[in-house]
Amino acid sequence: MRRLNEATLKDLPAEVPRPGYDRAACTVGIVHLGIGAFHRAHQAVYCDERLAAGEHDWAICGASLRSPAVRDQLAPQDGLYTEAVSGPEGENLRVIGAVTEVLVAPEDPEALVARLAAPETRIASLTVTEKGYCHDPATGALQHDHPDIRHDLQQPERPKSALGLLLAGLRRRRAAGLAPFTPLSCDNLPHNGATLRGLLLELAEANDPALARWIEAEVPFPATMIDRIVPATTDADRDRIAARLGLRDEGAVICEPFLQWVIENRFAQGRPRWEESGAQLVDDVAPYEEMKLRLLNGSHSLLAYLGYLCGHKTIAATMADGPLRRLAQVFMDREAGPTLSMPPGADLEGYKADLIARFANPGLQHRTWQIAMDGSQKLPQRLLSTARDRLQAGAPIDVLALALAGWMRYTGGRDEQGQAIEVRDPLAPMLAEAFASGEGNAAEIVAGFLKITDVFDPGLAGDPRLADAVSAALQGVLKKGTAATVKDTLTRLEG
Ligand code: CS2
């Protein structure tokens, strides 16, 4: 079957929308680090609309920091790919044209640094996931002993990490007398703009203090809250889409209808008019981000670990399991919701109801295994900050404790049938060791996990209320199994 590309665009079925603008006349204004499915289904969709509206100087150069896979998918397609919006009523396809170039950093770091330093580049955005920041998730400090950071300190002109790449681009702009680009973190981290700023300054301080002073004075780091559920695309998805397009698309992305982007309005050299495509430009992103991290991502992690252990492959299947669906609701109503300082005018009840419906979306095959990945990097902001606030208020944490017990049981590496779990996490060996060394004793296992300072700060780790609640939940999971413990917890909390 022929590939989707500029030459075959005209052969698409008439009902599939496609870029109606002259892509060849567009120039790159944004370099995006981490061109995975999420970026292609989120920021690139907003940019596609702005290009269509005539803002021609905001096309995207996407960069992969590790594998050439996305470049190999998109290069033969001239950067074109399908956004497949999948909901209860079916799937709508649309071809996106905002990505006009894809680079692979490890193949040619110089090409990427040069792109970052080009005068037309005014924004450098990132979706590199939590672990891509090379920081300690519990404290937020830069990991100076991270192999990529060590490399970037020695070879700042041929960087590997996202931080090193941004710094190299900024260094070259400063040397050339150019204004900086605006670094725009689009990852699920608390205070993502300030976090990125702190880490970049720490890295700059280590080998170029004058650059650090320039960044402090000249570079804004707006915070963002990003939201759209975008599961990894499968071969079955690609085959289904090819059958509808009549063209093969190796770069297609599958996503839900929901789309939200809240951005702090602080840019060094302008930005596309994203607000005309539905983005919210605000002065303070923090309440939006907290609401999303604690309710959406917190529930997601809870459902992923407990759902996986109950034998469910996807979040939709987990939501079809009555007690687990109920537990997500109780988690939001009783434990996470009350800790939030809500954004102005937000409707908490409506937001939670929408989340339940979004998780249950039968059009998405979002694997529990995918969300379970990198828990050590995710849980501090998704569950542990909530637990800290609850404990400070003297409030109970039964559901949070059960979610943490599920994570510990999962990262132990065997499911309830004794089958190996492929645990993906930068700390996987440490987590497996904490589980194994407890020798089946819940309190010992929990004590082993609480010693992992990358995840648990000393205040939380030393709070006996946390240790006791998680030990009690884990005891249930180990003795009775996850499904029975979920039911017992609900009975205890709700009668
Ligand atoms: C998910 C997120 O994989 C995960 O950990 O919780 O990717 C989630 O789907 C997005 O943040 C939704 O905006």
Q: What is the distance in A from the centroid of ligand 1 to the CA of 347? A: 21
- Give the integer Cα–Cα distance in Å for 440 and 408: 12
Task: Please tell me if the CB atom of residue 228 comes closer than 6 angstroms to any atom of ligand 1.
Answer: yes
- What is the predicted pLDDT for the residue at 12? 97
The residue whose CA has the least distance to atom 9 of ligand 1 is: 229
Q: What is the distance in A from the centroid of ligand 1 to the CA of 257? A: 15
Q: What is the distance in A from the centroid of ligand 1 to the CA of 280? A: 20
Quote the radius of gyration of the chain (alpha carbons, Å): 23
Average pLDDT over residues 260-281: 98
Choose among 417, 312, 449: nearest CA to 369.
312
Question: Pocket of ligand 1, candidates 225, 371, 374: which has the most ligand atoms within 8 Å of its Cβ, to mutate?
Answer: 371
| Chain centroid offset of residue 116 CA | 23
- What is the predicted pLDDT for the residue at 207? 86
Task: Please tell me if the CB atom of residue 227 comes closer than 6 angstroms to any atom of ligand 1.
Answer: yes
- What is the predicted pLDDT for the residue at 217? 98
Residues with Cβ within 8 Å of residue 312, at least 6 apart in sequence: 318, 321, 324, 368
- Give the integer Cα–Cα distance in Å for 143 and 161: 12
- What is the predicted pLDDT for the residue at 316? 98
The CATH H-level superfamily of 6-282 is NAD(P)-binding Rossmann-like Domain (3.40.50.720)
- What is the predicted pLDDT for the residue at 311? 98
User: And the tokens for 323?
Assistant: 């007690």
Q: What is the distance in A from the centroid of ligand 1 to the CA of 297? A: 6
- What is the predicted pLDDT for the residue at 324? 98
pLDDT for residue 193 is more than 90: yes
Task: Please tell me if the CB atom of residue 188 comes closer than 6 angstroms to any atom of ligand 1.
Answer: yes
Please identify, by atom number, the ligand 1 atom nearest to the C-alpha of residue 188: 11
- Please, where are the H alpha helices in 140-224? 147-154, 162-175, 192-207, 209-218
What are the tens digits of pLDDT across the range 388-420? 999 999 999 999 999 999 999 999 999 999 999
Using the CB atoms, write b or e for 89-125: b if 16+ within 10 Å.
Answer: eeeebebbbbbbbbbbbeeebeebbebbbbebbbbbb
Average pLDDT over residues 421-441: 98
- Give the integer Cα–Cα distance in Å for 159 and 165: 5
Task: Please tell me if the CB atom of residue 297 comes closer than 6 angstroms to any atom of ligand 1.
Answer: yes
Q: What is the distance in A from the centroid of ligand 1 to the CA of 162? A: 20
Same fold, 6-282 and 286-494: no
How does residue 29 score in pLDDT terms, banded at 50, 70 and 90? very high
The residue whose CA has the least distance to atom 8 of ligand 1 is: 229
Q: Which CATH number applies to 286-494?
A: 1.10.1040.10
Cα torsion 239, 244, 245, 247: sign: positive
Average pLDDT over residues 192-197: 98
Instruction: Answer yes or no: pTM beyond 0.95.
Output: yes
Tell how strand 260-264 and strand 224-227 pair up.
Answer: antiparallel
- What is the predicted pLDDT for the residue at 397? 98
Task: Please tell me if the CB atom of residue 372 comes closer than 6 angstroms to any atom of ligand 1.
Answer: no
The residue whose CA has the least distance to atom 6 of ligand 1 is: 297
What are the tens digits of pLDDT across the range 322-373? 999 999 999 999 999 999 999 989 999 999 999 999 999 999 999 999 999 9
Q: What is the distance in A from the centroid of ligand 1 to the CA of 371? A: 7
- Please, where are the H alpha helices in 361-427? 368-372, 375-379, 385-392, 398-411
How does residue 285 score in pLDDT terms, banded at 50, 70 and 90? very high
Choose among 162, 110, 159, 116: nearest CA to 135.
162
- Give the integer Cα–Cα distance in Å for 372 and 445: 19
Domain definitions of the chain by residue range: 6-282, 286-494
pLDDT for residue 495 is more than 90: no
> Are 403 and 383 a contacting pair, CB within 8 Å?
yes
Please identify, by atom number, the ligand 1 atom nearest to the C-alpha of residue 374: 5
The per-residue pLDDT of the chain, averaged, comes to 97
- What is the predicted pLDDT for the residue at 203? 97
